[in-house]
Amino acid sequence: MNTTKIKEKTGQTIFTVAAVICVIAVAAIFVFMLIKSIPALNKIGLFDFIFGDNWSPDRLDKYENATLSGSYGILKMIIGTLAATVGALLIGGTLGYFTAVFIAFYCPKKLKKIFSSMVNLLAGIPSVVYGFFGIVFLLPLLANFAPNNGSGLLATSLILGIMIMPTVVSLSKTSLEAVPRSYYEGALALGSTHSQAVFGTVTKAAKSGVTASLVLGIGRALGETMAVVMVAGNSVAYPDSLFNSFRVLTANIVMEMGYAGEVQQGALVATGVILLVFVLIVNLVFGAISKKAIKGAVEGKGLFSKIFKRNEKTKKTTFWTKCKDKIAGFKDKIKTANIGAGAAIGAGVFAGTILLLVIGFIFVKGAPHLFTNPHLLFGKYEFDSEQITILPSIITTLMTVALSLLISVPIGLCTAIFLNEYAKKNNFFIKIIRGAIDLLNGVPSIVYGLFGMITFVALIGGTSSILAGTLTISIMLLPTIVRSTEESLKSVQDSLREGSLALGAGKMRTIFKIVLPSALPGIMSAIILSMGRVIAESAPFIYTMGSVISATPTSYLDSNATLAVALYRLSGEGWYVNEAYATAVVLIILVLGLNLLAELIAGKLNKKLQGDK
């Protein structure tokens, strides 16, 4: 056997192994979560767990005890999660939909790019920063007319709504722009105005794509943790008014995992499993819709339109039809009165304002402290000092970013190469890998945190460490890296591969010399965005890496708080508001800087690949 053949075989083996690792990661998450939760569910009873509305755990409850002295029912939290999701969908869905229409059809051409990257920036802001903004801006504002400090369903829905908006916008925008231009032109040729054409034909044709974007938004809202924890109040109660402190499923895990007893810990992992089930259902629905979305957008088919049609048939004379008539009549008015256009423009402007508000408010409040308090950035950590320094956190964050990319980029890249360059379509193994990647992508960050706690932390001596946190986030990064790499590999024309093969080059040489360099812009921006993600995340770290700022770490076995976790700590304690502002500023600069860099690099490299004339 000659060396080329050996190279080819080794390459293919490595790519396959990477893909298998992805599958193992998914399987491990599900298996470990189930193993940890089944004893608790046995003890509590599945029905009592899901439909019991009393959550008062007892830390002394153990599996070997004959009876439990605490109660473990999570119904209140389930209702809380659903209520917050509905609220977020009402706010973020409406806002996102109209913003998408605005960017696609009403925005002046010159501003279009700015608005699109603005939406990307909104998506990049860490969830702790949103939560912090909620604490220092939204809650005091709401407190003016609320019976309490402002926390509760309204604040949660507002913050969550803003957070899911970018998701809704980007997918809706894509499907709106995928509608054939001939629809719009056809409407104009019949005498429609611009707005009548947009709202009469284009938005209707993009219906299932927009629905898919809303479903994806629901998934985000269900799994969101830190921002909600910071504004919901977190009492175990039903969300029966706009300003009642309540608790969601994710919050339940974060609030109690740190000091949970044996049964309690099992119940919390089980809470994670329930969350996972919710997200899985949402993902399945999304998968079903999005497959048909673009096609259905054009043909007016798709899962949801079928469901709606069935409803029309069965409930012809009910109250529902009357409502529909009313809505239809109202829609007619929208068209003629151009209210839709107004809403679109309003939403676009509002989205811009929010970005400026969040960033501006935190900068104005926080930036001065960065300059007047050098100890904050450059000081040495002292155990008994009142003065906070975030230097250890910055170093911890950098260590995490470096190692997690070292782990997940090679595995992700190799998996993507396997999927795009080696996989034959519709092979069973390929379907499993793709399914695994899709599943990983939907798992909420707090579930990763739980998984990391019951596996990596347990493996590495039972205490949290930077290593355990890094391993956790590495798995979390995989789906993003695999997907975006695969997208960029797909965009490399087959004619280049054929050209290389026709010259006698083997598959490995073709991949490394032709395909990967051509896909580099996409891959680079995926890597940079992953860096941003590591910096922004906090839920996966709290119980794997630690949540207390301590002395500058000297090894990966030390425990410490990343910047995002530090912000959560500082804002929760209430003593160090100024320091929290300053930390938020550093976080925003890092994350937004990386976002901009990603766009820049992708653009620059693309230009270079297009050829310098």
Partner 1 sequence: MKKIKEINEYGQNISVRNANLWYGDFQALKNISVEIPEKQVTAFIGPSGCGKSTFLKCFNRMNDLVDGCKIEGEFYVGETDIYGKIDVNELRKNVGMVFQKPNPFPMSVYDNIAYGPRTFGITKHADLDEIVEKSLRQAAMWDELKDRLNKSALGLSGGQQQRLCIARSLAANPKILLMDEPTSALDPISTGKIEELMEELKKDLTIVIVTHNMQQATRIADKTAFFLLGELVEYGSTDDIFTSPKDERTERYITGRFG
Cβ 492 to partner 1 shortest distance, Å: 9
Our CB check for partner 1 shows the closer of 191 and 611 to be: 611
CA 583, CA 589: separation in Å to the nearest integer? 10
| Cα radius of gyration rounded to whole Å, the chain | 25
Q: Is residue 242 packed enough to be buried (19+ CB in 10 Å), middle (13-18) or exposed (0-12)?
A: middle
Gap between the Cα atoms of 195 and 350, Å rounded? 20
Interface with partner 1 by CB under 8 A: which range of 212-220, 236-244, 257-265, 498-506? 498-506
Nearer to partner 1, 328 or 503 (CB): 503
Sites for partner 1 among residues 417-476 (CB under 8 A): 424-425
Q: Of these, 99, 500, 562, 571, which contacts partner 1 (CB under 8 A)?
A: 500
Q: Is 505 in the site for partner 1 (CB under 8 A)?
A: yes
Cβ at position 430, least distance to partner 1 in Å: 12
The answer to whether 568 and 547 have CB atoms below 8 angstroms apart is yes
CB of 526 to partner 1, least distance (A): 19
Q: Which of 110, 309, 316, 613 binds partner 1 (CB under 8 A)?
A: 613
Residue 358 β-bridge partners? none
Sign (positive/negative) of CA torsion 308, 313, 314, 315? positive
Q: To the nearest whole angstrom, how small is the minimum distance from the Cβ of residue 140 to partner 1? A: 54
- 1 scored as a contact of partner 1 (CB under 8 A): no
List Cα–Cα distances, 305 to 211, 297, 310, in angstroms. Answer: 10, 10, 9
| Total residues binding partner 1 (CB under 8 A) | 27
| Comparison of 591 and 605: residue with beta carbon closer to partner 1 | 605
Q: Per rule CB under 8 A, is residue 518 in the interface with partner 1?
A: yes
Task: Please report how close the Cβ of residue 437 comes to partner 1 at its closest, in angstroms.
Answer: 22
- Minimum distance from CB of 611 to partner 1 (Å)? 3
**Does residue 504 interact with partner 1 by CB under 8 A?**
yes
Q: Which is nearer to partner 1, 140 or 499 (CB)?
A: 499
| Binding residue for partner 1, selected from 503, 554, 555, 574, defined by CB under 8 A | 503
Question: Which among 54-62, 238-246, 392-400, 605-613 is the span making contact with partner 1, rule CB under 8 A?
Answer: 605-613
Tokens found for residue 483: 């997907």
Q: Give start and end residues of each alpha helix (H) in 179-261.
A: 181-189, 194-197, 203-205, 207-223, 226-232, 249-256
Considering the complex, state which of residue 342 and residue 506 has its C-beta at the smaller distance from partner 1.
506
Question: Cβ 435 to partner 1, closest distance in Å?
Answer: 21
Q: Closer to partner 1 at the Cβ: 188 or 496?
A: 496
Write the CA distances from 143 to 58, 242, 243, integer angstroms: 34, 12, 9
Cα–Cα distances in angstroms (integers) from residue 196 to residues 179, 183, 297, 343, in the given order: 15, 12, 18, 14
- Give least dist CB 512 to partner 1, A: 12
Q: Which of 46, 493, 548, 593 binds partner 1 (CB under 8 A)?
A: 493
Read off the tokens for 452.
């990391």
CB count in 10 Å sphere of residue 365: 18
Q: How far apart are CA 520 and CA 503, in angstroms?
A: 23
- What's the min distance (Å) between Cβ of 499 and partner 1? 4
499 binds partner 1 (CB under 8 A): yes
**By CB under 8 A, residue 400 contacts partner 1:** no
**Other Cβ atoms closer than 10 A to 432:** 16
If DSSP states are collapsed to H, E and C, what string results for 282-331? HHHHHHHHHHHHHHHHHHCCCHHHHHHHHHHHHCCCCHHHHHHHHHHHHH
- Rule CB under 8 A: choose which of 21, 86, 514, 577 binds partner 1: 514
Q: Output the furthest CA–CA distance in the chain (Å, rounded).
A: 80
Pure H helices in 338-390: 339-372, 374-378
How many Cβ atoms sit within 10 Å of the Cβ of residue 274?
Answer: 17
Identity at 222, one-letter amino acid code: L
Question: How far is the C-alpha of 63 from the C-alpha of 68, rounded, in Å?
Answer: 9
Nearer to partner 1, 156 or 488 (CB): 488
Contact 96, 166 (CB under 8 A): yes
Choose the stretch contacting partner 1; rule: CB under 8 A; options: 152-160, 202-210, 409-417, 499-507.
499-507
64 near partner 1 (CB under 8 A): no
The least distance separating partner 1 from the CB of residue 433, rounded to whole angstroms, comes to: 18
Among 501, 524, 596, 601, binds partner 1 (CB under 8 A): 501
Q: Work out how close the CB of 530 gets to partner 1 at its nearest, in angstroms, rounded to a whole number.
A: 24
Collapsing DSSP to helix, strand or coil, 444 comes out as coil
- In 10 A of CB 364, how many CB atoms? 11
Which tokens in the block code for residue 539?
């839920």
- Min dist CB 424 to partner 1, Å, is 6
Is residue 491 a contact residue for partner 1 (CB under 8 A)? Answer: no
Residues 450, 565: Cα–Cα separation, whole Å: 16
Query: Which conformational region is residue 246 in: left (phi greater than 0), alpha (psi within -120 to 50 degrees), or beta?
Result: beta
Residue 485 Cβ vs partner 1, minimum distance, rounded to whole Å: 17
User: Contact region for partner 1 (CB under 8 A) — 90-98, 186-194, 319-327, 511-519?
Assistant: 511-519
Contacts of 439 (CB under 8 A, 6+ apart): 26, 280, 283
Measured in Å, how far apart are the chain's first and last C-alpha atoms? 44
Q: Does 4 bind partner 1 (CB under 8 A)?
A: yes
Among 303-311, 353-361, 388-396, 491-499, the segment contacting partner 1 (CB under 8 A) = 491-499
Contacting partner 1 (CB under 8 A), which of 342, 379, 517, 572?
Answer: 517
Which residues 19-58 are close enough to bind partner 1 by CB under 8 A?
none
At its nearest, how many Å lie between partner 1 and the CB of residue 421? 11
- Please identify which residue in 502, 554, 555, 574 interacts with partner 1, judged by CB under 8 A: 502
Nearer Cβ to partner 1 (328/502): 502
* Six token digits for residue 358: 């969040």
Q: How far is the CB of 501 from partner 1 (least distance, A)?
A: 6
| Contact yes or no for 256/174 (Cβ under 8 A) | no
Residues contributing to the site for partner 1 (CB under 8 A): 2, 4, 424-425, 493, 495-496, 498-506, 509, 513-514, 517-518, 608-613
